[in-house]
Structure 1
């Protein structure tokens, strides 16, 4: 987009903020005055302040964002300078606990940095002359008198750079630019005006690690420094309003976060200032933006009448005012109330999106659908396929101003409660396909991490996706900064997922927030502890089992049916080839032997070293539909295996058990055989429940009245010595069944006929919950006389895979895992329904979460597209 928004400013601020992080102090409760700001030239780009304290040395030493933005070499250089000069014992006592300022200034060949720090007490001239040469024992030190000002220069061996220091009015000033230092010390140099200094002082937070100050009159110069081309119309929305901004900082390992106030001056004629008199609203249009969005601006206003008045006043002083007035008369000749009714139909949320192919999309919310339909045929013409085009030019611009000026006479479609616009019909058709596929920005991992940090209540939100906008950044940043962006060895700028700015109206000014989301190496799923290579994709597992008294192992099967046993260190223990794909789970018995069945009608029992036990593997009569159930029936151990409509029973040596040869049921069996109250229980699709004794005899059959089709196995709940069974049918009704066969409907779910239902204990109670996956929606219910919703979560796409359950504590409690295959994301939910920290993350379906050795921490074991198991410590 030729007018892409404040990209350069965001990148510039990231560089500045990261550089001063290195000195920030989180432990200070009080800040001093902003006295050094009085000496800074008025063309200063940016100022930061923080307290100088030795405790900061280790606070951020592992904070990766430093090196990502600063570059590895520069950070090493700053660290050395800090220790050799700032922490030198001869001067440290004068500087400890003092507020320090780092400011950034224009220079012909780049940007110069100035360090300013007041001393705890006045230092006389003789002492200065004595101590300053001492602090540079590793440098060549020279004293200079220039224009009546005393300067000390420090030059390290094998370096072309010279560091200059001067002391004036109880303040040390230091920089690599002699010209900047002289300019700062010269009283004739224009300085910040009293109002700006007062604003900076007022917003000098006592609790924040440090504060960032921005004199907004210098924003155009900052943009010119970083951009190759002139800023376009959109960029000018933000950079030409005079005033000042003060931000305080917070941080996470994977994010930069700045928040504070932006005071505005001389706002007349500035479009973005129209939002300063509005109140924050909940912005939701981003839920509709395509996944290839390079950037977007979402606007919203709370007071439509005030907005219209302010917008009309803004229009009146633009070059387009006469054209709009003439068009108004022309439109009202055909229908006098058209513009008024169209305005009443439309809402207060609108947005512009640039995709990574440079195509625009525009979005406007509809406030009143009936009014919109009333004016639709007069304001637009149909071009087929539910697509329209405005009959008149500049309709979006007329009602929403400069934010939608890019759409002169666009095509549009109605989607949900909004219209989506594009300048080309093909662009709109492509978007409609993305919308149907749910190929949306909110479905990406990076955006989900962004949503965790940044809220959606504002009046203006600017968002840049680093990856999708990379071509623009490379082509539009000045050569030096473009090279830095591409230099992945020295910098890690491309590891930032996004940059964003939010503005919220505040009685004519703004509350402002800036965020940068970073892909930290310490983030779950970023840096594996080990990997294990397979020859094809994972089809079963991974599971974790006991190997010996001292060690466990990871078990997995790949597509060619090879089974892998992997040590917790990532080394191979053994591999073997099974006949067919393992069906259901692999289970471990008390003697550490493992059980599995395959779709080739084979039953396996083998030890933890992969050696099959006597009698195994063995053929079974029918193809299994789920894993075996191991039961101990009064000292008689057996394996019960469900087929499509029969139950097969085998002893622990692999032989069939008499009496179970012809155990058949009506309907298809729904999952593994359940064992409760000394009975084997089978649930079928015909709405029936069968109970068998140890001899294979049917001792009870429950048939729920009506034409009922069950879709899940039973949920078994024991309360007050009473056993209750719960089952769900194909239309979403839930039934409660008593032990004597009485049934009642306790819930009408109205889910679609392809929904998935399980009964598992995921909420920390003594009984299982009902877990429902209905397209994109996860719902968890507590079982009782009626069903009570415990929590729910909506994914961006339909989920077709059954949930995963991982043991997470005593009492049978499990963690709930979801793999949303269409988005390539995996999720893990805590018992209260919140996402476990670090989730979601990118991985293929089939994963494991939990301990991988007796005393290990929790690990995520998952796969990517390269046929490897990845182990991530969490």
Structure 2
């Protein structure tokens, strides 16, 4: 399957798109005319046109992808050309309002670029001579006449990044039919201007014009009849069977750009011609579907093609018609007769059991995996022993050859008589039993492609609705690309100093059926230096890993500061600039979170039974630190009873009360609680509310007297804190138990179950206001499953998210203003952190590679948003975004 790649097309588009920006920036409007395309030879590989206005200039001025694809020297050369020619004041007046076209053409050793620029007004030859020969003094301008064509040459020194001269470059310009044609190749110019040379067909030119989006910064045109030649220019060997699926599709494609800082995104339409004999044309008659098989691909996936169809009956009919035209059609027909004679209903039953999604994956070790969805599980179980024989360990092998090809065609032709194993509602194929066994090990470890940050970024940018999706992972496929590309392009790919190809996470192409044609999308995901988590504003070194925080608190009327504790129990106070304010070692690990009181002092308790209160300068308040009679299980609470202010610290099944000076408060030592306290303490209607695991809710007055106790009937075990919701006429409480029941509790002692969740017994539950409603939301972490529910008379799902790894850490909550919170998640073992929007989306820029424990928000009164996080090097990182 090494020839399944469409690398040539991907790199080709990259080069063209990269060139576009450096010739943009003239104050012009998009025209509908595509007149220059009519001059282009029939063998043109690709064309791009773009809008020249300030908007385009601003969009692409910091687009790192361009330099990564074209290379530093080429970028420098194009910048000079743009500044010296297109922005020259004498020439600019002739170009205002014109489009610029860039096209790619065959060359002897490498592809060649042509620039075509129609002028807005006709220019006399004598005027043209005067304008062109009087351009920048930094250019050497010469004019020659060849075969009746005036050719202007512009010579400028090309410099490398160290500003040392490397070689001379000559740019040639010809003028014909009121169009400037420019290239570094003199022979290409003459080829374009030669009227005897076959040109692009009129119907293609019309298609390009009709499908160009006038609101897009630029557009890419692809004459598909030349894809084969284009591939040959970039690739060492001939295209194999899988690559031919793409490059043999005749017709034309138009893509318009969608801008994103860390991705190249092109989308548009592809028209097919004479495609009846092409495998992919079968998908053009289908409608796009949601593709999900990629969730099962191993992390070692180098590339994959995922296929799907929407109408099984029409697909089967069209596939059979296509197979009848292929080599081996007779053998397939003969086999069908044999099988029908032996087991008359078998093929029909197999087809009914299998689904409409399938895929083929090539791994870094060149082993292939196939994936097929199961449509009818009961039918599959009933037909399993008839269609396959057991190979042990739940692995089977098809009894007959070419079964995957029979039902899915060219996409699964690589698997003649494969082994397979069932995973959830699909089967995984491989040609060797050992490949299946290794996949099973990876699946059980959740060692999957979707677990990495790069694929998470890819998922956020590219949708999963299509009929054909091709994907290549740059890192996993690096050696393959180096060995597959022709020498010059392979050298560019390896050159990390000059180019940035290896900074691309992936390249992908999606096709969706559109009444016999395709809607098509091309994506290149880039590891942008401007992406969140790449360039830190500052770092702060610690001696060990972070175990609590980071938090942001007020330091004074004009400044805030960051507080964090590392594993050796040192507490660090850090200025928003990253400089150390102070540090000190506390006795034990901070339990829960740190609270800031109205006087700006900070309050915390440690697992070594110490209670601390200190000012922002790190100085202890008189009376602190002080000892606790029991180990705290949650952070201390500041309780303001109006006449008195107390500090209350929850132990396992007791409450410890202190004055603001650290003295013990009489009356609280004998408080009797049944069960363990389930969450932080809350003051409601001047009473302290405490929930315990025994299904109890207690109410206490200022003196520590129990004023009320609510005992939920039955053997109820609360696992969540008690949530408080104030309504117009009453206060209502909510809690969840270990069976997944959600209780609504009223102060009169009545209660009812309003929801029953299907969660594992050790799930985690919080009540936090994320969405801005009058009630907090119920946040559930159940293994790798996150669910957020809306509270009310009933419980309604708001959103959910499934991670690849189990969530061991509780969610993190950060202030979002107006009493709302933002929620962060750090799945165990992924080295990724997530931040969610109030509607369940992932905040732009996330996930980020980092260790658990992080902060997101302002770090000073007037600062923008920052991410404060740690990595394995024991440093705090501050990323502005």
Check conservation: 1:615, 1:654, Cα contact below 8 A: yes
Alignment partner, residue 92 of structure 1: 92
* Distance in 1 between residues matched to 2:354 and 2:214, nearest whole Å: 44
Secondary structure at 2:121 match in 1: coil
Deviation at 1:63, TM superposition (A): 1.6
Q: Quick one: distance in 2 between partners of 1:143 and 1:136?
A: 15
C-alpha displacement of 1:56: 4.5
Contact 2:30 2:52 in 1 (8 A): no
Cα offset for 1:451?
2.3
> What's the secondary structure of 2:794's corresponding residue?
coil
2:827 pairs with 1:858: no
Q: Is the 8 A contact 2:23 2:86 kept in 1?
A: no
Per-residue CA shift, 1:290-342, capped at 9, x if unaligned?
A: 23322111111223233223222222232222322332233233212212221
Task: Assess, with a 3 A threshold, how the Cα gap between structure 1 residues 27 and 518 changes in structure 2: closer, same or farther.
Answer: farther
1:276–1:55 CA distance, 2 compared to 1 (3 A): closer
Task: Evaluate the alpha carbon distance shift between residue 385 and residue 263 of structure 1 in structure 2; reply closer, same or farther with a 3 A threshold.
Answer: same
SS at match of 2:60: coil
SS at match of 2:135: helix
Q: Matched residue of 1:734: which SS?
A: strand
Mapped partners of 1:55, 1:755: distance in 2: 50
Q: In 2, Cα distance between the equivalents of 1:848 and 1:462? A: 37
1:679 aligns with 2:683: no
CA distance in 2, matches of 1:22, 1:160: 20
Deviation at 1:559, TM superposition (A): 0.9
Alpha-carbon distance between aligned partners in 2 of 1:147 and 1:29, rounded to the nearest angstrom:
35
Which residue is equivalent to 2:3?
3
Q: CA deviation at 1:58?
A: 4.1
**1:161 is the counterpart of 2:173:** no
Partner Cα distance (1:681, 1:552) in 2: 32
Aligned twin of 2:69: 69
Q: In the aligned structure 2, how far is the partner of 1:854 from the partner of 1:422?
A: 58
**Aligned residue among 435, 439, 442 for 2:443:** 435
1:685, CA displacement in angstroms? 0.9
* Residue 227 (structure 1) aligned with residue 240 (structure 2): no
Other-structure match for 2:736: 728
Residue 813 of structure 1 aligns with which residue? 820
* Corresponding position of 1:14: 14
Matched, 1:844 2:861: no
Q: Is the 8 A contact 1:103 1:113 kept in 2?
A: yes
The SS at the match of 1:480 is helix
Aligned to 1:132: 132
Matching of residue 185 in structure 1 with residue 199 in structure 2: no
TM alignment of 1:508-523, pairs within 5 A? 508-523=516-531
Instruction: Give distance in 1, aligned partners of 2:816 and 2:81.
Output: 49
1:501 and 2:503 correspond = no
The aligned counterpart of 2:623 is 615
Q: Which residue of 1 aligns with 2:398?
A: 390
CA contact (8 A) 2:56 2:217 kept: no
Deviations 1:445-467 (A, max 9, x none): 22232222222222111111222
CA RMSD of aligned residues (A): 2.0
Counterpart contact for 1:3–1:231, Cα < 8 Å: yes
Deviation per residue, 1:29-88 (Å, 9 max, x gap): 642322222222222211112244576544421122211212222212211111111122
Contact 2:650/2:677 (<8 A) preserved: yes
Residue of structure 1 equivalent to 2:579? 571
Matched, 1:416 2:424: yes
Instruction: Establish whether residue 246 from structure 1 lines up as the match of residue 254 from structure 2.
Output: yes
Structure 1 residue 717: deviation in Å? 1.5
What CA distance in whole angstroms lies between the structure 1 residues aligned with 2:132 and 2:151?
Answer: 10
Is the Cα contact below 8 Å between 1:26 and 1:208 reproduced in 2?
A: no
Q: How high is the TM-score relative to the length of structure 2?
A: 0.95
Q: In the aligned structure 2, how far is the partner of 1:417 from the partner of 1:696? A: 57
Give the direction of change, closer, same or farther, for the CA distance of 1:182–1:26 in structure 2 (3 Å limit): closer
Q: For residue 566 of structure 1, report the CA deviation from its aligned partner.
A: 0.6
Q: What is the SS of the residue equivalent to 2:826?
A: strand
- Of 31-40 and 592-601, deviating more is 31-40
Q: Which moved more, 1:199-208 or 1:624-633?
A: 199-208
For residues 432-484 of structure 1, the C-alpha deviation after alignment (integer angstroms, 9 at most, x for no partner) is: 23333333333332223222222222211111122222221122222222222
* 1:360-375 alignment runs, 5 A limit: 360-375=368-383
8 Å Cα contact 1:247/1:260 also seen in 2: yes
Report the alpha carbon displacement of residue 25 of structure 1 after superposing the two structures with TM: 7.0
Once the two structures are superposed, what CA deviation does each residue of 1:571-621 show, in whole Å capped at 9, x if it has no partner? Answer: 111111111111011111122211111111111111211122233222211
SS in 1 for 2:313: helix
Taking a change above 3 Å as real, the CA distance of residues 274 and 521 of structure 1, as seen in their structure-2 partners, is same
Indicate conservation of the 8 Å contact 1:462/1:500, yes or no: yes
Post-superposition CA distance 1:675-729 (Å, at most 9, x none):
2222222211111122223333323222111111111221112212422221111
**Match in the other structure for 2:162:** none
Q: What is the match of residue 458 of structure 2?
A: 450
Equivalences for residues 253-268 of structure 1 within 5 A: 253-268=261-276
Equivalent residue, structure 1, for 2:833 = 826
Match of 2:710 among 702, 708, 731: 702
SS in 2 for 1:214: strand
Which is further off, 25-34 or 793-802?
25-34
**Aligned: 1:484 with 2:506:** no
1:769 Cα deviation (Å)?
2.5
Cα deviation for residue 827 of structure 1 reads 2.1
Bigger mean CA offset, 523-532 vs 555-564? 523-532
- Determine if the alignment matches structure 1 residue 113 to structure 2 residue 78: no
- Deviation per CA, 1:606-653: give whole Å up to 9, x if none: 121112223322221111111111223343332211111111122223
The 3 A distance-change label for structure 1 pair 58 and 640 is closer
C-alpha distance 677-51 of structure 1, shift in aligned 2 (>3 A): closer
**Offset of 1:136 from its aligned partner?**
4.4
Matches within 5 A, 1:792-807: 792-807=800-815
CA distance, structure 1, for counterparts of residue 550 and residue 53 of structure 2: 49
Bigger drift between 708-717 and 52-61 goes to 52-61
> What residue number does 2:325 align with?
317
Alpha-carbon distance change, 118 to 547 in structure 1, aligned in 2, over 3 angstroms:
same
Which residue does 1:38 correspond to in 2?
38
Aligned 8 A contact 1:28 1:207 in 2: no
1:717 paired residue number: 725
Distance 1:56 1:760, change over 3 A: closer
- Cα distance in 2 for partners of 1:850, 1:147 equals 68
Instruction: Check 1:197–1:717 CA distance in 2 against 1; reply closer, same or farther (3 A cut).
Output: closer
Distance 2:54 2:179 in 1: 19
Q: What is the deviation of 1:15?
A: 1.5
8 A contact 2:473–2:507 mirrored in 1:
yes
Distance 1:545 1:205, change over 3 A: closer
* Equivalent residue pairs, number: 873
Residue 785 of structure 1: aligned partner: 793
Which among 465, 470, 473 is matched to residue 481 of structure 2? 473
8 A Cα contact 2:27 2:54, kept in partner: no
User: SS state of the match for residue 144, structure 1?
Assistant: strand
Name 1:743's counterpart in structure 2. 751
- Change over 3 Å in CA distance of 1:313–1:28 after alignment to 2: farther
Q: Give the secondary-structure state (helix, strand or coil) at the position aligned to 2:275.
A: coil
CA distance in 1, matches of 2:18, 2:596: 51
TM-superposed CA distance for 1:215, in Å, is 1.6
For the structure 1 residues 741 and 318, does the alpha-carbon distance in structure 2 shift closer, same or farther, using more than 3 Å as the test?
same
Change (3 A) 1:197 1:765: closer
Q: Deviations over 1:542-569 (max 9, x none)?
A: 1111112221110000111111111000
Provide the rounded CA distance (Å) in 1 between the counterparts of 2:683 and 2:53: 65
Of 597, 601, 606, which aligns to 1:593? 601
- The 8 Å contact of residues 102 and 114 in structure 1, kept in 2 or not, is answered as yes
